[in-house]
């Protein structure tokens, strides 16, 4: 039966760069312990004769061939823009220089 200690949770928090309070460490140690107990229970029930699978349904992707359709020309794409410079959309600067 897994027993996750408070120190192990603190170690995982440090590795994950999470700042946890003492109350959170206590809470998460219980939650992680419960999760691992559930995983252990599922592992004990899992049959070795069942092949690993991502989906129990035999579903395949239905695809169609790609069709090339013409898009907008640069002039058409820029025709509704309020400001165009050198064939490109011009927008207000939101970041300062050198950032």
Q: Distance from CA of residue 82 to its chain's centroid?
A: 36
Q: pLDDT tens, 8-26?
A: 999 999 999 999 999 999 9
pLDDT in tens, 32-41: 999 999 998 8
C-beta of residue 40 within 8 angstroms of C-beta of residue 2: yes
Choosing among 1.10.1740.10, 3.20.20.70, 1.10.8.100, 1.10.20.60, the CATH entry for 6-45 is 1.10.20.60
Domain boundaries, the chain: 6-45
Look at residue 1 and tell me whether its pLDDT is greater than 80.
Answer: no
Q: How far apart are CA 97 and CA 93, in angstroms?
A: 9
pTM (two decimals): 0.45
């Amino acid at each position: 039966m897994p027993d996750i200690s408070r120190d192990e949770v603190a170690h995982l928090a440090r590795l994950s760069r999470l700042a946890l309070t003492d109350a959170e460490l206590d809470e998460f140690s219980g939650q992680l312990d419960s999760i691992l107990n559930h995983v252990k229970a599922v592992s004990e029930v899992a049959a070795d004769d069942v092949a690993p699978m991502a989906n129990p349904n035999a579903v395949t992707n239905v695809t169609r061939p790609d069709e090339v359709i013409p898009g907008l020309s640069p002039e058409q794409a820029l025709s509704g823009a309020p400001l165009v410079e050198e064939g490109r959309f011009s927008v207000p600067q939101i970041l300062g220089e050198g950032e």
